Amino acid sequence: MRYTLLSGGKRIRPVLCIAACELVGGLDYAALPAACAVEMVHAMSLIHDDLPCIDNDDLRRGKPTCHKVFGENVAILAGDALQARAFEHVAASTKNVCPTRVVRAIVELAKSMAAEGVAGGQVMDVSSEGLSSEEGLERVELIHLHKSAALLEGAVVLGAIMGGGSDEEVERLRMFGRCVGLMGQVVDDILDVTQSTEKLRKTAGKDLVAGKLTYPKVLGVDKSKEIARKLVEDSKEILVGFDTPKVAPLFAVTNYIAGKIN
């Protein structure tokens, strides 16, 4: 559990969770357990995705993957325990937030991980391997919205709930999170075909080898870059009207992700 959770990573989801909390007027500490929980379930999804029977990856963040170090059995169980610990952490450690909001945040976290979230997206992904690019954009978008965007959306929504955001603020931030999450996956798809393993600190070209349905496969690299840029614009558009200094960290993360393909 510690090996993967504490192996670095950019902490994009917790950063966005806390920034969303502050954007709606909350104090950072209100969203801190939620931010940690989101990172825990993210780590859990990485551990399980890297397993031989799923994406079969040996390298993650420049280190051997969890199952390479501890064995497949322990990796599966570490993932299971991390997911449970995430829910425990939000429920047990969130302070000074009305319990109704904590319960609501738990519903959102769970949805982002279940059949309509990360796990469902992974099932679509593994069952799309070998499909031709004619299967099209709609299916790639569907996979990415579940597999990747759902948890980033969840991170932002959890922050907004813990920060005391209104329903309208929560829904706007949900759309923002969805855009950024989708954009992040488009960028990942592009980097998989354009960068080296060394630079990625994970195995490059894996999607092509696995016959995954990706944006570059369906649309080519140039059109994929255009889509990523459009998603950046859309995400910023959604937050127009929010307090400018407080929106800055959310835009900074968006720009950081988008900057990788420039």
Q: Which residues bind a copy of itself (CB under 8 A)?
A: 1, 44-45, 48, 51, 53-54, 71-74, 76-81, 83-85, 87-88, 91-92, 98-100, 102-104, 106-107, 109-111, 113-115, 117-120, 122-123, 126
Minimum distance between the CB of residue 191 and a copy of itself, rounded to whole angstroms? 24
Q: In three state form, how does the secondary structure of 70-92 look?
A: HCHHHHHHHHHHHHHHHHHHHHH
For residue 128, give the DSSP letter.
T
Q: Which is nearer to a copy of itself, 65 or 224 (CB)?
A: 65
Q: What are the CA-CA distances from residue 53 to residues 67, 104, 125, 133, 168 (Å)?
A: 11, 34, 13, 23, 41
Minimum distance between the CB of residue 143 and a copy of itself, rounded to whole angstroms? 13
Q: Which two tokens stand for residue 22?
A: 């502050």
Minimum distance between the CB of residue 13 and a copy of itself, rounded to whole angstroms? 16
How many other C-beta atoms can be found within 10 angstroms of the C-beta atom of residue 21? 29
Burial class (CB in 10 A: 0-12, 13-18, 19+), 118: buried
Minimum distance between the CB of residue 179 and a copy of itself, rounded to whole angstroms? 23
Q: Which is nearer to a copy of itself, 73 or 196 (CB)?
A: 73
Residue type, 211: G
Q: Which is nearer to a copy of itself, 95 or 230 (CB)?
A: 95
Q: Which is nearer to a copy of itself, 48 or 202 (CB)?
A: 48
Q: Which is nearer to a copy of itself, 152 or 231 (CB)?
A: 152
Q: CA-CA distance, 165 to 222, in Å (whole number)?
A: 38
